[in-house]
Chain A
């Protein structure tokens, strides 16, 4: 073998690495694919997304819909009859866009779905490469705008937790304070999503990273350090929140279907 040939890029998947480098991109491929399939299925259901004071995060905020959580009542009259309706369709673009343009997920799915590269120091399937400097991936720079919307969503999800503390007795109609397992599930969902959203790289930039003098950071040095602290574990927050938001939907769905019972703790 001549050296000139050896210095050429290796073929797809070729490497001298001995470790199980393919496990991580495969796990990401399966994890994200599974999530996309489940979220799409759940969004299309349009039912069993609320129970008592609980509202699934896939449907929150419910702008139009049939549940008591709806802001403006049922499906609007102007909605085209030929177009399937679900309250989730109106809002899921925001968290979906936030995750799709997230710096962590970008690096992950470029590897897992596009093999660009499949792993560090592993041969790629294509010779051409554009990166994020031209269309379509230059659109990833919109990430900060999705962050703005995501922060607002955290606020609405926190309100959902507050609402999940007030249970109405079906027989008497009296509303009283209480904590159910569902309340804790919804609360943990806000904590996980908050850890992910407030540790975002764009948030770190806004909190002071964009300034040359951190002592004059927008949120103060402590604020910047707090965001940086969350950012150091951004990957964990990303996966934790992804799993938990799906589980929260599963929980509300199964309780609404009568398969699971929501135990009252308090």
Chain B
């Protein structure tokens, strides 16, 4: 049995401050276990969002020692406990209470993205035929658990608060899954440039570093989308080629 001191961000409305708790923990415990222990023994009114405790629901996102992480997937032996461990809510979203933020902006953004629009069925029975290699690529994007840690760490949202002009890495992954789908016929490139603000991304790869599902967000989703945008809007030779091809 070991002991550690935690500084939890606590409060609501306009008032918040770090509150210090010291508690024991056992080998194998994760940060969320410790938070529950503090909640059970010292702070019964502590607000924390959680659900599966298995890294699949994406509910317990927080900032542990300044790093956006899932509390249920962060083992105590992974973090230094010599000095107090700080646990804060995600900073990119409106704060509600204690460790809980309002992530509903993400759901509103998702509704605005053009839906999947498949080509007419390939077969008389209304089904499609696809090669396995064609669908393999988008499978990676489907691993997303919508924990919004990538949104939280993205400096465009976190530091510059450009939520109205930039949808963030989570939704570039979502758009990539649709745009690269072998059956999809919808074109989302114009809205990527305008309403979704892909040009704001300056490829820091912070989103990739914090993804608990290890989705290669920047290299496999955002940069390929940026290249498609270049094809459509910034490459004069491609434009010329398209012009001649259409004649």
Contacts and interface: CB of A to CB of B under 8 A. Distances in A.
Given A16-B86, A120-B209, A133-B200, A201 B65 contact: no
Interface stretch (A31-39, A166-174, A207-215, A245-253): A207-215
Contacts of A15: 66
Contacts of A201: 219, 223-224, 227
Contact of B224 (A111, A209, A215): A209
Contacts of B180: 212
A137 B200 CA distance: 10
A242 to B, nearest CB: 18
B227 A9 contact: no
Contact of B230 (A7, A121, A129, A144): A144
Contacts of B12: 3
A117 B204 contact: yes
Interface string B1-35: 00000000101111111000000000000000000
A159 B166 CA distance: 47
Contact of B227 (A2, A19, A131, A205): A205
Contacts of B159: 9, 117, 123-124, 129
A68 B156 CA distance: 53
B134 A214 contact: yes
B212 to A, nearest CB: 15
Contact size range, B = 35 or more
Contacts of B91: 7
Interface string A90-122: 000000000000011011001100001100110
A3 B13 contact: yes
Contacts of B55: none
Interface string B210-231: 1000000011000110111011
The 3 closest A-B pairs by CB, nearest first: A133-B199, A3-B16, A16-B66
Given A107-B218, A205-B224, A215-B133, 18 more contacts: A3-B9, A7-B91, A15-B66, A18-B80, A103-B223, A120-B153, A120-B206, A121-B63, A129-B159, A129-B162, A131-B201, A138-B234, A141-B234, A144-B227, A201-B219, A212-B181, A214-B131, A234-B219
